[in-house]
Structure 1
């Protein structure tokens, strides 16, 4: 499994050196990577359907319990097949859609990175490695969404998506660390046996909230949903891949994976039902007010994701069965509709549904794919969409509370989604062909063939549901901790309430399609409420944050070193004083203090005199000399307390500093004026306060009981593990090693930035700006 994941990363690296060969006719060869991976994962279907779970672990950071652990069960197999199967079709589609694009190889590299990251995410059985792959999907999707980087709207959409999903990634890390602290392991499989202990922990709700935020941001749940419609600025292959079967489903996967660990609790179930219910209705209503085909598909996607979250929240075996089938349903019809939309935009030059009609006369295969996908999204037999809709209704009717409300909400959502599917999949191909589109040409085979394949599969799985029942659906339900062995998928279950609701959905949705037409007027109406949308609220918050940041910068980060030092010292004094005097009184153990000797007193007087002379002298050269006296006095103190190595270091550094100061001051002009009197008084008070706090802190430390555990560890292991005879040197080397590692990292990042600037080639128009 590790090799399957690394293949995508290696192919992306391979394209860096051989990309020019994949910009022309050889571009189609890129599709062999996901095709091969699809065949690889498909080979595990017999084993997984028989109940087997395949695991593999590679040590990574064993000291912290972080391993590259991978698990292939029903849930991860379904997602792996979607990632690679739809990935294969998207790779092939891209070869025609972006034919001749000068950055086609770069696009394939981004797609490969994303595919590999998604595979790592769904196969990971370790929370930390899952987080790493989770973040890799966010980064690679940022490049994909912002692929048209010359377009400001694309760049803004990419940044928005990265910001929202990046915040979710931070939340996932917090949740992972908290769950690891509660359970003592980062292995998701091991957490299954600790479900009761995790649920009984005082940090259970906090851990669940972190997981929820991660899932809701990634799967575009209200109020984090607005990044997904904005991401439609990306090329159609990106929209197809990320928003039908992969990225937006990552949050769904996370919730499903943790349902056996964190689920079956009131807080978990209730939150998911509320958030999923609000999202599915809110987004389905919004789809009515859109005229851009991608906009309609975006909001219908958010609504479908809300349905999945809603079903996971119901937490019954019927709900898990419905969610498993609906994941397949949505991936097939939504990927088809996105591909169809891309073909229309590519050939006709517009996605405005109010300007599209009659395209069946030019692109009949595309029309067939769109109509079949629309029928599946509407849940009309014999498509698999009909199965998914009936299972969803059945799961809703088995809800424990508010059954009527839940059923009404899901039926309303399905009616609106039927309308959206018909508008996106049927309307562009029916009616009379406009004059403006009579010169539109038919697309290449590579563009319409992937859409036809997905649309036909939607019908095939509906007529023969046994093809996916034991191979895909039931293993997913088992992975969620439920038993669906007695249930069998079938188109016909007799005349019952579910069939009645299905008929009402189809009838009302069809009438809605004929009577409610997409229009700019409707879109303008919803635009008037944009000021109260989550997106607008976030943008206003961002504006006020920028205002605050400007104020903070002007006051505290204004370029004056003295202000920086004053702020740091003041903060340190206040913080340490609060800790020392706020929690308990200062205790000084006088028995720990030695008698002051005459030579110590003399040195202290010299040091204090040097400090005062440095502060009040009007000669900079005299101030430097006085600072040298202070440094030499400190050297003597080190000698008195048996630290000759520190004394020599201090002497060397202090001498060199004095010499450098003299050389610099020799070239500087004389003082014009001394600093303001009030400022000098302020600095004096602050300096005295810092000195007092540090003195009291040192005396407080002497009163604390001595803990020799750390010292004993270094004493025992300094020579054995670090091969150092001096314990102090070993400690210094340890800390210096960490410090050097961080410095190397910073310098490497800076070097990459400098290299990027050196390689930058601006146009003459850009240089003038």
Structure 2
């Protein structure tokens, strides 16, 4: 798109309105922290489809409130960052609007207490994230990444919908709070296994768990503010959120644990190890996001009190440091001109604010005290030691690579000898870019020193939402010399050694990568297979011949009609034919007209004969008192004859038309099926419900004494409007086609 065709950027003062709205929304949600911590869960319900028991129902419990605060609070910083980052970009307004709709979708998702409402907002995040990932749509890389994210998360959304509908059927309600209160009903149901498989499939695709994990690093084609928002507190945590939300209803079984724990452990190790392979710090952070999400999935799968406390704490920990680090990498790119840590060094003096934010958030990601990340890591180790050696080992491997990656983003670019960066004079960017990372880093430091504050006011209500029981004890920075603390020391030691040998480790992983199987091969193969099948089906079905399309349509209709007749309970009616002279004449007209169509070689004669068939049917309507239908039939026949006559006389002569047995067979099948079906309907007792309803309702509800007119205008108003629109559009199209043909002949 040329620059002159792009919309002009919004005025300067308008850029900060979305950030202000998100900040106000954060304060509004913050007022519920006290009531929710005290056990109150405010609800808001708007009746939507009462006959189906569906409502726009929203509910704030501990889990929903924490997610809402993250979405709005981090969202305010993202909006401010984006308004500054794209200050001179003409696409800024489009980005802010799309980010706004994404934030609304996420808020609706986490606060929804109705399964259908939840699914609508779930799909809203899918569509808006697709737009955000493909924001630079002129680049093939962005389009491919957006398509990949859309297909994988969209397929998961369909599976989730099926699972939610099954849950609705088993529980008899669409309210999530009522479903969670009836967990034993699900676990005892014969549909429990398919429900769990469908719901977990949907959550795994959304939160990028193996084997669907590859779409998330690919989403790094999105701009930095988008990556920070999607990968910290919002979209990728939607699947984790839903697993936590449905734990009371579906958790606590071997199937649940057997799905979540192994998949989480494997994805956690994959993400952490391959993060060390990257040199692009943004891509490295995307890989560590896989580790964070997988750790949450694994902990939720364990389901113990210690694991749930660790999961809820780490959910907050991850949101703080990951959003800050993504934004910090954007600051490095803006200030120094690169995201490749190999090209950067010695930036601390030139970019002190960026260096400070990266150091604090990086230490929190590595789990060093006294940061909030240390509290979260200790809780993960505590839950792992209680779960067994395999979980502990997976956590240890993942965490030591997190230490290595923290050094990549927090130490390598800022310390050591200066390198020739792409920008000759690197410097900290403006306040609009550094304010968000600084605030998030400050939160990681604050809650590290005072974890009991966030533990009592946010984590404890979150635990109640997942387990239904009060959290025992309080979060603390120091628990003494425990197995978890020893594991932390081991993690620090191995991580520091790994960081010192980072270049050799990275090169070793890069050398091993070509010989390893690509897990995403299944996606490439599936996409290629779908495209190949689609092309084959298109080539087979789209021949370009109208007769081919009509034959296929009529044959499909015949199969459906006869299938319904043979599979149903058809009764042949006891009809005694009593034909009068007028009946015989009408049948004779129709048969004669059909015979003429079959044997004539004249287009005009065939068209007129078809009009004879329609006229005979109109006479039948008159005989049975349907005068209005007969008039409509006659008008249609007149129009058809006129238009077809005008159109076909302009075509070349068609010569002899050979008899086609296949076409005759299709016509016989469909015609006989319609006839037998009509007779079967006549054998069915008439239900007078609609007749009685219209008779009783026409005058008091529609104020009309002509029942037919009332039905057409009031009770079937939209249907009648649609039919009229179709006729008008068809007429306009026919006139346009005829006028175009006339101009072509001149």
Alpha carbons of 1:556 and 1:450: their partners in 2 closer, same or farther (altered >3 Å)? same
Instruction: State yes or no: 1:443 paired with 2:443.
Output: no
Name the SS for the 2:348 alignment partner: helix
CA drift at 1:26: 5.8
Partner of 2:609: 626
CA distance in 1, matches of 2:228, 2:114: 29
Could you tell me which runs of 5 or more consecutive residues in structure 2 were left unpaired when the two chains were aligned: 1-6, 730-746
Q: 1:454 aligns with which of 428, 440, 445?
A: 440
CA drift at 1:232: 0.9
Partner of 2:522: 537
Partner of 2:664: 684
CA distance in 2, matches of 1:596, 1:449: 90
Partner of 1:702: 682
Partner of 2:634: 651
CA drift at 1:142: 2.5
Partner of 2:103: 115
Contact 1:290/1:518 (8 A) holds in 2: no
Partner of 1:575: 560
CA drift at 1:312: 0.9
Q: How does 1:3-82 map to 2 (within 5 A)?
A: 20-22=9-11, 24=12, 27-28=15-16, 30-82=18-70
Alpha carbons of 1:62 and 1:521: their partners in 2 closer, same or farther (altered >3 Å)? same
CA distance in 2, matches of 1:183, 1:457: 41
Name the SS for the 1:56 alignment partner: strand
Partner of 1:565: 550
CA distance in 1, matches of 2:723, 2:188: 39
Instruction: State yes or no: 1:609 paired with 2:592.
Output: yes
Partner of 1:737: 718
Contact 1:373/1:458 (8 A) holds in 2: yes
Could you tell me which runs of 5 or more consecutive residues in structure 1 were left unpaired when the two chains were aligned: 1-17, 749-769
Partner of 1:357: 345
Q: How does 1:193-232 map to 2 (within 5 A)?
A: 193-232=181-220
Q: 2:278 aligns with which of 256, 274, 290?
A: 290
* CA displacement, residues 12-50 of structure 1 (integer Å, 9 cap, x when unaligned): xxxxxx98554x366345422222111222222221222
Q: Number of residues paired by the alignment?
A: 720
CA distance in 2, matches of 1:131, 1:167: 13
Instruction: State yes or no: 1:424 paired with 2:404.
Output: no
CA drift at 1:597: 4.2
Length-normalised TM-score, structure 2: 0.90
CA distance in 1, matches of 2:171, 2:696: 32
Contact 2:45/2:56 (8 A) holds in 1: yes
CA distance in 2, matches of 1:621, 1:273: 74
CA distance in 1, matches of 2:725, 2:494: 64
CA drift at 1:185: 2.4
CA drift at 1:192: 3.1
Q: How does 1:28-177 map to 2 (within 5 A)?
A: 28=16, 30-177=18-165
Contact 1:291/1:523 (8 A) holds in 2: no
CA distance in 2, matches of 1:274, 1:440: 45
Alpha carbons of 1:515 and 1:523: their partners in 2 closer, same or farther (altered >3 Å)? closer
Partner of 2:174: 186
Instruction: State yes or no: 1:674 paired with 2:659.
Output: no
CA distance in 1, matches of 2:569, 2:86: 72
Q: How does 1:396-545 map to 2 (within 5 A)?
A: 396-399=384-387, 403-436=388-421, 438-517=424-503, 521-522=507-508, 524-525=510-511, 527-528=513-514, 532-534=518-520, 536-545=521-530
Name the SS for the 1:252 alignment partner: helix
Q: 1:331 aligns with which of 316, 319, 333?
A: 319
Alpha carbons of 1:326 and 1:268: their partners in 2 closer, same or farther (altered >3 Å)? same
CA distance in 2, matches of 1:269, 1:717: 57
CA drift at 1:704: 4.0
Contact 1:358/1:428 (8 A) holds in 2: yes
Contact 1:289/1:518 (8 A) holds in 2: no
Instruction: State yes or no: 1:546 paired with 2:534.
Output: no
Name the SS for the 1:427 alignment partner: coil
* CA displacement, residues 563-595 of structure 1 (integer Å, 9 cap, x when unaligned): 1111111122233333433x4686423x24443
Alpha carbons of 1:365 and 1:644: their partners in 2 closer, same or farther (altered >3 Å)? closer
CA drift at 1:204: 3.1
Q: How does 1:627-642 map to 2 (within 5 A)?
A: 627-642=610-625
CA distance in 2, matches of 1:739, 1:348: 65
CA distance in 2, matches of 1:379, 1:658: 81
Partner of 1:588: 572
Contact 1:273/1:313 (8 A) holds in 2: yes
Alpha carbons of 1:232 and 1:519: their partners in 2 closer, same or farther (altered >3 Å)? farther
CA distance in 1, matches of 2:13, 2:672: 76
Deviates more, 1:431-440 or 1:504-513: 431-440
Deviates more, 1:159-168 or 1:453-462: 159-168
CA drift at 1:391: 0.9
Q: How does 1:294-333 map to 2 (within 5 A)?
A: 294-333=282-321
Name the SS for the 2:210 alignment partner: coil
Name the SS for the 1:547 alignment partner: helix
CA distance in 2, matches of 1:174, 1:736: 33
CA distance in 2, matches of 1:105, 1:648: 55
CA drift at 1:665: 3.7
Name the SS for the 1:337 alignment partner: helix
* CA displacement, residues 187-246 of structure 1 (integer Å, 9 cap, x when unaligned): 222323333333333333333333223322221122222221111111111111111111
CA drift at 1:517: 2.1
CA distance in 1, matches of 2:308, 2:676: 63
CA drift at 1:284: 1.8
CA drift at 1:434: 0.8
Contact 1:354/1:518 (8 A) holds in 2: no
Alpha carbons of 1:122 and 1:742: their partners in 2 closer, same or farther (altered >3 Å)? farther
CA distance in 1, matches of 2:547, 2:511: 55
* CA displacement, residues 625-683 of structure 1 (integer Å, 9 cap, x when unaligned): 22122222222333344433333322232233223333334444333x33444xx2221
CA drift at 1:342: 0.8
Contact 2:71/2:106 (8 A) holds in 1: yes
* CA displacement, residues 495-527 of structure 1 (integer Å, 9 cap, x when unaligned): 222222222222112212222327885565465
CA distance in 2, matches of 1:370, 1:47: 35
CA drift at 1:614: 0.5
Partner of 1:262: 250
CA drift at 1:735: 5.0
Alpha carbons of 1:350 and 1:523: their partners in 2 closer, same or farther (altered >3 Å)? farther
Deviates more, 1:609-618 or 1:633-642: 633-642
Deviates more, 1:614-623 or 1:279-288: 279-288
Instruction: State yes or no: 1:662 paired with 2:645.
Output: yes
Alpha carbons of 1:314 and 1:730: their partners in 2 closer, same or farther (altered >3 Å)? farther
Q: 2:673 aligns with which of 679, 689, 693?
A: 693
Instruction: State yes or no: 1:346 paired with 2:334.
Output: yes
Contact 1:531/1:537 (8 A) holds in 2: no
CA distance in 1, matches of 2:189, 2:400: 42
Alpha carbons of 1:268 and 1:155: their partners in 2 closer, same or farther (altered >3 Å)? same
* CA displacement, residues 673-721 of structure 1 (integer Å, 9 cap, x when unaligned): 33444xx222112111211222222233334455445555445445544
